[in-house]
């Protein structure tokens, strides 16, 4: 079985497990929408402020809840499942890649729902040409988040305080992703090129991909 066939098989299995567990779309997404409702209440229903911060809240919630998608319980392998995969000869790098692929797809779906909800609830003021900018930056951000979350999930596998610890690892390392995403729309609003910020996002995602694939075997051993 080729590398990509293995990766695709891992991703397909993850998606199938998620479709049965419903952790992302039945738990994480509604929780994120509730969080969207909290901000205007906390700000005293000031419509102008809500419109102004809409897109910023979207990025912040994407990071905070997006990392929960990569760290979801349904993606945490039991020791037995890891042993089976090892005995089947699944390449650790393919396993990492597959897991990132599934987490990316789920994160993109989550971000899509969140964007629609944010647009309806906040009626944000968006710059011209925002659609292309938002699609590109969201896609890169989803990939980066999925990679970071998968790495942190492996590092904290089996630990008592896994959820908090993994979030503590992911949140600070995700800052270049938030910065790239938020600044690209800011650049559009200022009529400037978004290329430097897209490059920052792409470089972060690429560095994490290279790191994840290179460290896949030690990560596999570390999770035992």
Partner 1 sequence: MTRTKILFGLAGIALAYGLWMAFTAPPDALQGEYARIINIHVPSFWLAFLAFFVTAFGSIMWLSRKRQRWDRLANSSAEVGVVFTAIGLVTGMIWGQAVWGIAWDWGDPRMASTAVMFFVYLAYLALRAAIDDPVIRARRSAILGAIAVIQVPLVYYSVNLFRTIHQTQSIRPDGSTLPDEMLVAMLVNVAAFTLLYIALLSARLEVAKAEESAETESVLAGDAVKPPKISEVKDV
* Alpha helix segments (H runs only) across the chain: 3-21, 23, 29-42, 47-70, 79-87, 92-122, 130-155, 162-173, 175-189, 195-214, 216-222
Written as six digits, the tokens of 224 are 């035992």
Dist. CA 95–CA 76, nearest whole Å? 13
- Is residue 206 near partner 1 by the rule CB under 8 A? no
Asked if 191 is part of the footprint of partner 1 (rule: CB under 8 A), the reply reads: no
Among 19, 74, 78, 161, binds partner 1 (CB under 8 A): 161
Is 86 among the residues that bind partner 1 (CB under 8 A)?
no
Of 14 and 147, CB closest to partner 1 = 147
Cα(186)–Cα(170) distance, rounded to whole angstroms? 24
CA distances from 39 to 35, 54, 89 (A): 7, 9, 48
Out of 75, 134, 142, 219, which residue is the one contacting partner 1 (CB under 8 A)?
219
Q: 107 φ, ψ to 5°?
A: -65, -40
User: What is the size of the binding site for partner 1 (CB under 8 A)?
Assistant: 22
Residue 112 in contact with partner 1, rule: CB under 8 A? no
218 forms part of the interface with partner 1 (CB under 8 A): yes
Among 47, 168, 195, 199, binds partner 1 (CB under 8 A): 168
22 near partner 1, rule: CB under 8 A? no
Do residues 188 and 136 make contact, with C-beta atoms less than 8 angstroms apart?
no
Q: First and final CA of the chain: distance in angstroms? A: 24
Pick the piece of the chain touching partner 1 (CB under 8 A) from 12-20, 61-69, 90-98, 207-215: 207-215
Binding window for partner 1 (CB under 8 A); candidates: 24-32, 133-141, 151-159, 184-192: 151-159
Looking up tokens 């509730």 gives 34
Stretch that binds partner 1, among 71-79, 91-99, 117-125, 165-173 (CB under 8 A): 165-173
Chain contacts with partner 1 (rule: CB under 8 A) = 151, 155-156, 159-161, 165, 168-169, 171-173, 175-176, 207, 211, 215, 218-219, 221-222, 224
């Amino acid at each position: 079985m080729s590398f990509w066939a293995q990766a695709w098989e891992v991703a397909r299995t993850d998606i199938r497990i998620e479709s049965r567990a419903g952790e992302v779309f039945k738990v994480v997404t509604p929780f994120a929408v509730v969080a969207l409702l909290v901000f205007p209440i906390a700000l005293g229903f000031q419509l102008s402020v809500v419109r102004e911060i809409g897109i910023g809240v979207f990025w912040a919630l994407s990071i905070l809840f997006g990392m929960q998608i990569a760290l979801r319980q349904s993606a945490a392998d039991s020791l037995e499942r890891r042993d089976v995969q090892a005995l089947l000869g699944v390449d650790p790098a393919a396993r990492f890649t597959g897991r990132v692929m599934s987490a990316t797809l789920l994160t993109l779906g989550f971000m899509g729902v969140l964007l629609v909800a944010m647009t309806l609830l906040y009626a944000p003021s968006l710059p011209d040409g925002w659609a292309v900018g938002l699609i590109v930056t969201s896609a890169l951000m989803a990939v980066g988040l999925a990679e970071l979350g998968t790495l942190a999930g492996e590092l904290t596998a089996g630990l008592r305080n896994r959820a908090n610890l993994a979030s503590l690892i992911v949140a600070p390392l995700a800052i270049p992703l938030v910065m790239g995403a938020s600044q690209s729309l800011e650049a559009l609003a200022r009529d400037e090129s978004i290329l430097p910020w897209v490059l920052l996002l792409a470089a972060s995602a690429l560095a994490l991909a290279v790191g994840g694939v290179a460290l896949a075997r030690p990560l596999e051993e570390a999770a035992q």
